[in-house]
Structure 1
Amino acid sequence: MPGSKQNKSRADTVKALLQQRKARFVTLAFVDLNGQLRGKTVAADKIPAAIEAGVPFAPYTHMMDFGDRPLMPRGYLDGNLAFEDNLCRIAEGERCLPFEDKDSNLFYFVEFEPGTRGHEWDPRIAYQRAEARLEKLGAQPVQSLEYEFRIFKETPDSAASKGYHDLKLLSDVSTYGGIMRQGVHAEFFKELCDMCDAMQVQLASMHWEVAPSLAEVAIAHRPGIAAADDAILFKTHSKVLAERHDLLLSYMARPLDDADGQSGHVHLSLLTTRGRNLFHDAKAEHGISGVMRHFIGGLQAHIPDLLLMLAPNINSFKRLVPGHFAPVAANWGIDNRTCGIRVIPGAADSQRIECRVAGSDTNPYLVLAAILGAGALGMEGRLEPGPASLGNTQLDVTKIDKAHRFPGSFDEAITRFENSSAAKELFGEDFVAMFGGTRRAQARQFARMVSNKELERFLELS
């Protein structure tokens, strides 16, 4: 809280760090609902006071879509709205920005203070609510995110000048795991690794995927919110690096008509405070413990209603269709990549779940919050999962339990989220109203848009 003795002590520690580094400027940023970092660069000598007293930010930027297009939920705008700032606290733990000079590269996340509107909407707070629920059950999450992205031989300006049509990929040839292609672009990927080192983000692996110019990066597993922090820093600055190379790196869920979409899979396990993997039971079939079963049961019961947090844009649903190697239900299977929930059996230190639902266009804090929250509800209610799915479950979706199938459209997902008692219990009614309301505003905007595909088909002959 602002003005506390703890904040005074921390302010003194940070002041010493800034003096040691001869820092001139520090960047502060909060995370908006879309997973964008929004902030400002502040003179370093202002930071100790900001740690003690808080720093103001505008919470209503949560009502902005990409490109600052307004997404106004109904009921939030009236004649008395002052668009006031809310105080934020500077979160503990500094990072370094990769493309700034050493006297200006320190970075801190900020979070909206309790009692403010921004606090109710803050994705970092939503994550912390889900994690706190698990902590009451004696469980601590360890998790990692892996992202697929496409690289275009375009800049944002060139893509816009083409009307986002006929965009040139970095390569038109698919080379899954291709070392030759890796070597061709070694300079870019070396700089990507250097960028991560500067931000204290550890990569586990990276490779080319089964599609032209589609790459995948797996970020190393981390405990708690640090996994989401790593993910947001990686997504933000990988796009920066690409632009500095006159390239366009995209995390859009499905940017191409004739190719699969781009995923943002999550690997996770739960540990006790002593580090024992709660998902592993050496005596059980496939090593699946009771805790793991109940966690899977929670995912099956609640992820269909929470899907909006894992598919937050109208384009997200162009990825979640049968036949495009993306799940269409919260079904589960043993090492089955056609399921939404892939159980990966292993030793006590590796048994885990891979949730394959989210696209790469997502906010990592909200993805993890939804998964952990749903799993916690399953553990609390001792929910049992349905039977494990075998083979390719996308060949006949009708064989999947209706209760586990995902909403078939963006609109349906919004309605189910807004009406979800689980979402309101986990994240609060104000968060559900804001997040659902901004998504509904996006849906209304796109419902009025006329696409080039419509013009091509109907303009002359209809």
Structure 2
Amino acid sequence: MTAMLEVSELRAAGIETVIVAGVDMYGKLFGKRMPVRSFERVVGEGLHVCTCVYAWDFDQDLEALKVEFAGAHTGWQDFRLRPDLATLRRAAWLEATAICLADSVDEDSGEPLPVAPRTILRRQVQALNAQQLNAYTATELEFHLYRGTPDELRRSGYRDLEPTTLARSDYAIGAGNAMEPFFRQVRNALEESDIAVEVAQAEYGLGQWEINLEYAEAIETADRHVLFKSAVSDLARANGMTATFMPRPLSDGMGSSCHVHASVRGDDGSTPFYDADADRTASAPLRHAVAGVLDRVSDLMLFYAPTVNAMRRIISHDFAGNGLTWGFDNRTTTCRLITGGPDANRLEMRLPGADVNPYLASAAVLASLRDGMGRRIDPGPACTGDGYSEPHGELPITLGDAAATLEQSLFAATTFDKEVVGHYAAVARNEWLQFLRATSDWDRDRYFETI
């Protein structure tokens, strides 16, 4: 069975339904589903979709978030989802269904929407292409899996959650064996959808799991990432469970990460990050790239930590790095180097959590490493011990701080465009204000009687 499909092959492959999906600001899929006949008709022109999908918050509130891009002041105009036929594939976790990812383009001009995540990443890939470099990435995504469907957990107020492992089971084969019927279903569905799985394992947190996908060109990796999340969530629900990609679903549990690996190759097949004569084969361009990622991390923190919950993981010691640190194979640093061979040498950005939008996080890493390579800056000495042992530069620790830092960054404005920066800063400010306005169980537990 071939996962990747041509439009002419859909019926013969037993496909009855095609999903055309874009990616929103939060890294979630949106779009429409249709019979094959309708898909064949809209392939060229695309689908008309309301701009609200890039102008509302997590709860789809049309009033709270105010952005220039769209709203009542623009009449909630349409844009178009233009199918990228290179992504048309079988969605093997759904019956007789194919999915095609799409680019978000202007209704009239057909130009890519600047605020669309796929546009943002593509422009950073193209900037590297202009220097005869090609970007390769991988995203290592962790998640927690609880018993009970999403509807059941919502009705219970997400209280008394029952994790799928009741003891710490990091790397444990036994815990994996117990859940193998489910995870075999997941792996098979991913493989049959051309989402290549590398490895899977039980993780440290209760009910925590990790599935790593094979590395690929940057846009393909981000595409696979969002399809992976959809497949895991759908299959969990079908099996009476709920997968959450919150970075820290419980205060006393382990956070879920999404480490972003990145490397570049030359058009001629060269591997700029490898130097056989350098210390641990880390070439000067690789060191410059690391320096760039660290130098710009505060400016782009919002792309690495896009929610209030993401910050809870980052300020912990959940292997999320600490300030402006880097090291060789050192998991206590923000930027870890993996070296050893021409195709292996890469950097790993450890700040992002499982809630990250893969297009935005990857764009941030690629823009930063390109900047560091261009300026030929040095990252300083590698951290050889515990990266948490002392402060190593302050980073934004609240969503409000991250929004303000992005908005004030000249680097972000020139690299990503002022419209993009202003849009995502406004989204984050709104989310931060919603959090500040809410009275939570934490408030009552801490202050109700004692204040």
Question: If the length of structure 1 is used for normalisation, what is the TM-score?
Answer: 0.91
TM-superposed deviation, 1:388:
1.3
CA offsets per residue over residues 199-254 of structure 1, 9 Å max, x none?
A: 11011111112222211111111123111111110011101111111111111011
1:40 counterpart (28, 32, 36): 32
1:144-183 alignment runs, 5 A limit: 144-183=138-177
Unaligned 5+ segments in structure 2 are: none
**Paired position in structure 2 for 1:5:** none
Q: Provide structure 1 residue ranges, at least 5 long, that are not aligned to the other structure.
A: 1-12
2:123 counterpart letter in structure 1: R
Aligned in 2, Cα 1:423/1:264: closer, same or farther, shift over 3 Å? Answer: same
Q: Does 1:425 align with 2:417?
A: no
Aligned to 1:238: 232
Q: Which residue of 2 aligns with 1:439?
A: 428
2:342 alignment counterpart? 348
Identify which of 197, 217, 220 aligns with 1:203: 197
Tell me the SS of whatever aligns to 2:317.
coil
Q: Secondary structure at the match of 1:99?
A: coil
State yes or no: 1:224 paired with 2:213: no
Identity %, equivalent residues: 26
RMSD between aligned alpha carbons?
A: 2.0
TM-aligned CA distance change 1:461 to 1:424, over 3 Å:
same
Determine the structure 2 residue equivalent to 1:68. 60
Deviation at 1:297, TM superposition (A): 1.6
CA shift, 1:49, in A, is: 3.5
**Helix, strand or coil: the match of 1:450?**
coil
> Which AA in structure 1 matches 2:55?
M
Distance 1:257 1:131 in 2: 37
Partner Cα distance (1:82, 1:63) in 2? 12
Q: Is residue 79 of structure 2 the alignment partner of residue 86 of structure 1?
A: yes
Which residue number in structure 2 is paired with residue 30 of structure 1?
A: 22
2:379 to 360, 376, 385: 385
Structure 1 stretches of 4+ with a deviation exceeding 4 A read: 74-79, 114-118
* Conserved? CA contact 2:165–2:208, under 8 Å: no
SS at match of 2:425: helix
**TM-score (normalised: structure 2):** 0.93
Provide the rounded CA distance (Å) in 2 between the counterparts of 1:254 and 1:325: 13
Residue 451 (structure 1) aligns with: 440
8 Å CA contact retained: 2:67, 2:423: no
- Following superposition, the deviation at residue 76 of structure 1 comes to 5.6
Is 1:96 matched up with 2:90?
yes
In the alignment, residue 50 of structure 2 is paired with which amino acid?
A
- From the superposition, tell whether residues 196 and 78 of structure 1 become closer, same or farther in structure 2 (CA, over 3 Å): closer
Q: Which amino acid aligns with 1:57?
A: V
Query: Matched residue pairs, number?
Result: 443
Report the CA distance shift for 1:461/1:341 in structure 2 as closer, same or farther (over 3 A). closer
How far does residue 77 in structure 1 lie from its aligned partner after superposition? 6.5
The 1-side partners of 2:424 and 2:315 are apart by: 23
Give the stretch that moved more between structures: 138-147 or 22-31: 22-31
Q: In 1, Cα distance between the equivalents of 2:32 and 2:72? A: 29
Q: Which residue does the alignment assign to 1:264? A: 258
Retained in 1: the 8 A contact 2:57–2:65? no
CA drift of 1:23 comes to: 4.4
Do 2:206 and 2:253's aligned partners in 1 also have CA atoms closer than 8 Å? Answer: no
Does 417-426 or 31-40 show the bigger shift? 417-426
Q: CA deviation at 1:155?
A: 2.1
Mapping 1:362-373, distance limit 5 Å: 362-373=356-367
